[in-house]
Structure 1
Amino acid sequence: MTTPVHPTTPAADAPPPPETRTGSAWAPLRHPWFRRLWIAQFASSVGGWMQTVAAQWLMLTLTSAALPVALVQTALSLPVFLVGLPAGALGDVMDRRRLLIIAQGFTLVAAAGLAVLTFVGLMTPWLLLLFTFLIGTGGALMAPAWIAVQPELVSREEIPQATAMNAVSINLSRAVGPAIGGLIVAVLGAAAAFAVNAVSFLGSLIALKRWPRPRELRPLGAEPIMSAMRTGLAYVRHSPPVRAVLMHASIFLLFSSALWALLPVVAAKHMHLGSAGYGLLLSAVGLGAVIGAALLNWARERLGLEMVVRACSVLFGLGMVEIALSPHVLAMDLVILVIMGIAFIGGLSSLSAAAQTALPSWVRARAMAVYLLVFQGTQAVGAAIWGAFAQGYGTDLALAIAGAGVVIGPLAAHGYHVGLGAHYEREISPLSIEPRVGPRTDHDSNPVLVIRDYKVDPEHARDFENAMRLVRGSRRRFGAQRWNLYHDAADPTRYVETFTANNWQEHLRQHTERMTEADRMMDELAERYARGEPRTRHLIGTE
């Protein structure tokens, strides 16, 4: 690994981390392209909920069996697990704007095909599931790239507010989309709802086509998909901030999923509400999401992001316990659900913001794809667990236990600290010095062994070894494998660092595309305890 040419460390007067900044909760909407794309995505999300309602209702008219109706939701969710990680890799190796346009165009065609076949009376249960699956696939292809471009649309300090605004969009569309969809199906039929959904994608497609996103420079070309997926998983594995987010999110979602799985049962059997009453309960959660977005930045500035996550867990969990144990008075339950909506958006949008600010651009879509897989998978598993528990022991007991789990969950993750990424967690310019290599022609297919020799005085040995532990994490995050540090038994001043890369091209990417300011600082910290410049050698495998 070549030492950076112009080593720098954060200056004493460097700008403070984003958690100390102030700003309006609605500040992201001042950015024209964030505003346009946010509005377009909100319309598309409303159309998606309309499509779900129409598809479930149409399935009821096509077959009387319960399983096909349930499979409509499965067909929408399954693509996340099948294409989520490859979609994240594509979001990093392709131009993200182009990928978003392709995904939106694919989804529009699938939605239009569903509408046409329904209009002409050719729809069957299996065709309905197929087109629902295709629409879900388009959404799964788009999701990681969409999250990854958010930091490009706003300033770094506004990422938490932008994340909250996107959560507001999801919750508002969940509140109004099913109602609008049900009305259109009742008046005009399912085909009309499918057609409106297809039209809703046009806004996003037009906005993306007009978005003047600067073209990304890729001096080494596009990274192979399998390599990109492998590197993305390695980054998540070796990134403490990302692991912390995944730990907190999985615990929160595992227990909180009980509410979304069992709320229809509570509405129907305990509160004796119909579908309109159930929609009112969901609307209360959506209203809470809007209020939460307005309060989140204020709370984060005063309490810090991690304390906001803990407070939101407590509020949401106590709300679940209250719903489980209290007599069901509609007005009181609506107030509780509003508070829970505030807590839900506050907790999850804070965790999402922590993940986004901790991730450099080169791996952001891949890592966020892992986040989405954890998000969807934990909710799916949690819903099944709590549904089975409620069937055996009762809905109230299931909600009460799950609520207690949400409250105490952060204690189980007390060693995993979450916060907004520091201002130096970003890419630096490509290094002007690259490893020298001879004229062989097989460098792109054979593994590379990097060897670095350090001279360290004995009095600095312990500090050097501690610094190299940080270097190990840095190397592993941007793709190095089999990292080791050796101490020469015959020469107490000599240390040897070794690590491997799959091929020469992969090693060059570590130099030119992946190193961040924080990585460079870790190198400098270790070299501070060494005498002179470390000697670096690159050995290329012969087979």
Structure 2
Amino acid sequence: MTGIRRGRRLPDVPDAAEAGTGGRMGAFASLRIRNYRLYALGQTTSVVGNWMQNIAVGWLTLQLTHSGTLLGVVTGTRYLPLLLLGAWGGLVVDRHDTRRLLTLTQVCSAVQAALLTVLSWADVMTLPLLLALMLAMGFTNVFDNPARQSLISELVDREHLPNAIAVNSTFVNTAKLVGPGLAGVVIAALGVTPCFALDTVSFVAVIVSLLMLRTREMHPTERAERAGGQIRAGLAYIRRTPQLLYPMAMVYVTGMLTWEFPVSLPLLTTSGFGAGPAAYGAAMACMSVGGVVGGFAAMRRRRRLGTRSLSWSAVIWGALICAAALAPALPTALVLLVFVGSGSITFNSSAKTLMQLEAVPHMQGRVMSIWSIGWLGGTVFGAPAVGAIGAAWGARSALLVGGLAAAGVGVAVLMRSTRDRAV
């Protein structure tokens, strides 16, 4: 293959459609690998800090502006660079050493968090300064997101990759439980500034873990040489590869319409059930608990991964969301949201695993950056759309449309893949 710098070849393994999640390996099999264990520990610490920062930024925004609309603007600003530049960020990851690039993004993130800490501590923060910092963090995430996803495949072999992704999802959801709760305690006692300071420290943990990786034990991938039209080549590669195109289509539909729980759940709990903010907190907690349970299930999964299994995952997840949206009472909805949270992790970890197994090494950065654009960047358009649907057709419709979207795209891909197999 021309234009490619080849690294060490990986051992031959079955195709992704034939690969399970570890055969007789235990639920935490990937953690026996030292490099991955260091990475998982650092990332989990960082996610706790990041969620503390997210909660504190929201609180600080409301203190500065007293406006829910401007809170949405601040949140959207952080995702805007990913939406506009995500594919280019993936190309940069494909061209460069992933560990070094990720170390650089973590240093940049630590500096940005430190600036946030100092400006908040000095009580000189303004909305324009906050927007500028959110934009800078978003630009860093353009490279950080695909680098984090791609590095996992360099830390473990392909046999351990599905388990490693599931373990990562489980740890991230556990951190999502800890981070907001810890942020609430810290803000109530000391204000927002310590949250920003703790987030700064959390990035140090990631940087140390990356520097401690043993490069001789890693699985280096092919790196793309500089050439014209490489972003178009990445898009064309996905378009002509059904094992990537179909999962990507599901990710884009669900990322834009289904994964808008910060919008749909407040509407459901407040307007739909007439409850207060505590009910929204309970709903998010139920989602997170379900996510942890779903992560453990994914870690022990034995069935083969493929487009059809991912499609069924989307269908089941969508049906559970619809059931929660139509629940007759809040307690019933909260119970169903535990299963919704479990389904979300099952779908997301399966989609990431399938795409990382199917993508050729020198395209992996671009593939995962395009995944990030759909799963995260879609919020820029999806959140206002879901909010408008809830305002026009009632609070339950905001959650219901997400469930119908997930189930609908799952059924569509099932029908298309069945037709392809019949040809």
Same fold (TM over 0.5): yes
Residue in structure 2 matched with residue 390 of structure 1 by the alignment: 390
Q: In the aligned structure 2, how far is the partner of 1:258 from the partner of 1:111?
A: 26
Structure 1 unaligned regions, length at least 5: 3-12, 419-543
Q: Which moved more, 1:119-128 or 1:277-286?
A: 277-286
TM-superposition CA deviations, 1:96-130 (whole Å, max 9, x none): 11101111001101110111121122211111111
- Indicate the SS of the match to 1:24: coil
Residue in structure 1 matched with residue 7 of structure 2 by the alignment: none
Structure 2 unaligned regions, length at least 5: 3-11, 419-423
Q: In the aligned structure 2, how far is the partner of 1:181 from the partner of 1:207?
A: 24
Residue 299 of structure 1 deviates from its aligned partner by: 4.6
Q: Which moved more, 1:381-390 or 1:186-195?
A: 381-390
Q: TM-score, normalised by structure 1?
A: 0.69
For the aligned residue pairs, the C-alpha RMSD in angstroms reads 2.8
Assess if the C-alpha contact under 8 Å between 2:78 and 2:134 holds in 1.
yes
**Among 171, 174, 177, the residue aligned to 2:173:** 171
Compared CA separation, residues 177 and 379, structure 1 to 2 (3 A): same
Residue 255 of structure 1 deviates from its aligned partner by: 4.1
Q: In the aligned structure 1, how far is the partner of 2:110 from the partner of 2:144?
A: 12
Assess if the C-alpha contact under 8 Å between 1:93 and 1:225 holds in 2.
no
TM-superposition CA deviations, 1:41-66 (whole Å, max 9, x none): 11111111111111121122222344
Q: Which moved more, 1:127-136 or 1:39-48?
A: 127-136
Q: In the aligned structure 2, how far is the partner of 1:315 from the partner of 1:399?
A: 15
Letter in 2 for 1:312: S
Letter in 2 for 1:323: A
Residue 298 of structure 1 deviates from its aligned partner by: 4.8
The structure whose Rg is larger is: 1
Q: In the aligned structure 1, how far is the partner of 2:125 from the partner of 2:58?
A: 13
TM-superposition CA deviations, 1:212-241 (whole Å, max 9, x none): 22499999x973375543432332233222
- Which residues in structure 2 correspond to 1:309-458 (within 5 Å)? 309-330=310-331, 332-414=332-414, 417=417
Q: Percent identity?
A: 29
Q: In the aligned structure 2, how far is the partner of 1:377 from the partner of 1:117?
A: 27
Q: In the aligned structure 1, how far is the partner of 2:73 from the partner of 2:307?
A: 38
Q: In the aligned structure 2, how far is the partner of 1:230 from the partner of 1:314?
A: 31
Residue in structure 2 matched with residue 502 of structure 1 by the alignment: none
Assess if the C-alpha contact under 8 Å between 1:300 and 1:308 holds in 2.
no
Residue in structure 2 matched with residue 55 of structure 1 by the alignment: 57
TM-superposition CA deviations, 1:15-56 (whole Å, max 9, x none): 684238513332112212111111111111111111111112
- Which residues in structure 2 correspond to 1:216-231 (within 5 Å)? 223-224=225-226, 227-231=229-233
Assess if the C-alpha contact under 8 Å between 2:81 and 2:139 holds in 1.
yes
Assess if the C-alpha contact under 8 Å between 2:52 and 2:180 holds in 1.
yes
Compared CA separation, residues 249 and 328, structure 1 to 2 (3 A): same
TM-superposition CA deviations, 1:159-196 (whole Å, max 9, x none): 22222222223322332222211221221121111111
**Among 135, 138, 142, the residue aligned to 1:136:** 138
Assess if the C-alpha contact under 8 Å between 1:161 and 1:293 holds in 2.
no
Letter in 1 for 2:344: F
TM-superposition CA deviations, 1:302-346 (whole Å, max 9, x none): x6544542343233222222222222232x323211111111111
Q: TM-score, normalised by structure 2?
A: 0.87
Q: In the aligned structure 1, how far is the partner of 2:13 from the partner of 2:163?
A: 23
Q: In the aligned structure 2, how far is the partner of 1:14 from the partner of 1:210?
A: 28
Compared CA separation, residues 253 and 62, structure 1 to 2 (3 A): closer
Assess if the C-alpha contact under 8 Å between 1:83 and 1:141 holds in 2.
no
Q: In the aligned structure 2, how far is the partner of 1:376 from the partner of 1:148?
A: 16
Compared CA separation, residues 371 and 226, structure 1 to 2 (3 A): farther
Q: How many residues are matched? A: 405
Assess if the C-alpha contact under 8 Å between 2:52 and 2:179 holds in 1.
yes
Compared CA separation, residues 315 and 222, structure 1 to 2 (3 A): closer
- Indicate the SS of the match to 1:112: helix
Compared CA separation, residues 102 and 26, structure 1 to 2 (3 A): same
Residue in structure 1 matched with residue 99 of structure 2 by the alignment: 97
Compared CA separation, residues 272 and 414, structure 1 to 2 (3 A): same
Q: In the aligned structure 1, how far is the partner of 2:257 from the partner of 2:116?
A: 36
Residue 86 of structure 1 deviates from its aligned partner by: 2.0
Residue 416 of structure 1 deviates from its aligned partner by: 5.2
Residue 360 of structure 1 deviates from its aligned partner by: 1.9
Letter in 2 for 1:73: T
Assess if the C-alpha contact under 8 Å between 1:171 and 1:285 holds in 2.
no
Residue 368 of structure 1 deviates from its aligned partner by: 0.9
Residue in structure 2 matched with residue 64 of structure 1 by the alignment: 66
Assess if the C-alpha contact under 8 Å between 1:286 and 1:338 holds in 2.
yes
Compared CA separation, residues 362 and 121, structure 1 to 2 (3 A): same
Assess if the C-alpha contact under 8 Å between 2:157 and 2:219 holds in 1.
no
Assess if the C-alpha contact under 8 Å between 2:255 and 2:374 holds in 1.
no
Assess if the C-alpha contact under 8 Å between 2:13 and 2:158 holds in 1.
no
Residue 260 of structure 1 deviates from its aligned partner by: 4.3
Compared CA separation, residues 218 and 325, structure 1 to 2 (3 A): closer
Assess if the C-alpha contact under 8 Å between 1:258 and 1:387 holds in 2.
no
Q: In the aligned structure 2, how far is the partner of 1:20 from the partner of 1:74?
A: 36
- Which residues in structure 2 correspond to 1:73-84 (within 5 Å)? 73-84=75-86
Letter in 2 for 1:164: A
**Among 296, 299, 302, the residue aligned to 2:298:** 296
Letter in 2 for 1:19: G
Q: Higher strand share goes to which structure?
A: 1
Q: Which moved more, 1:90-99 or 1:57-66?
A: 57-66
Q: Which moved more, 1:368-377 or 1:350-359?
A: 368-377
- Indicate the SS of the match to 2:69: helix
Compared CA separation, residues 225 and 201, structure 1 to 2 (3 A): farther
Q: In the aligned structure 2, how far is the partner of 1:193 from the partner of 1:170?
A: 18
Q: In the aligned structure 1, how far is the partner of 2:338 from the partner of 2:78?
A: 27
Q: In the aligned structure 2, how far is the partner of 1:269 from the partner of 1:182?
A: 24
Q: In the aligned structure 2, how far is the partner of 1:273 from the partner of 1:26?
A: 39
Q: Which moved more, 1:370-379 or 1:358-367?
A: 370-379
Residue in structure 2 matched with residue 235 of structure 1 by the alignment: 237
Compared CA separation, residues 327 and 174, structure 1 to 2 (3 A): same
Residue 208 of structure 1 deviates from its aligned partner by: 0.8
Q: In the aligned structure 1, how far is the partner of 2:107 from the partner of 2:227?
A: 22
Compared CA separation, residues 383 and 201, structure 1 to 2 (3 A): same
Residue 198 of structure 1 deviates from its aligned partner by: 0.6
Indicate the structure whose relative CO is greater, using CA pairs within 8 Å and at least 6 residues apart: 2
Residue in structure 2 matched with residue 193 of structure 1 by the alignment: 195
Residue in structure 1 matched with residue 421 of structure 2 by the alignment: none
Compared CA separation, residues 409 and 217, structure 1 to 2 (3 A): closer
Letter in 2 for 1:310: S
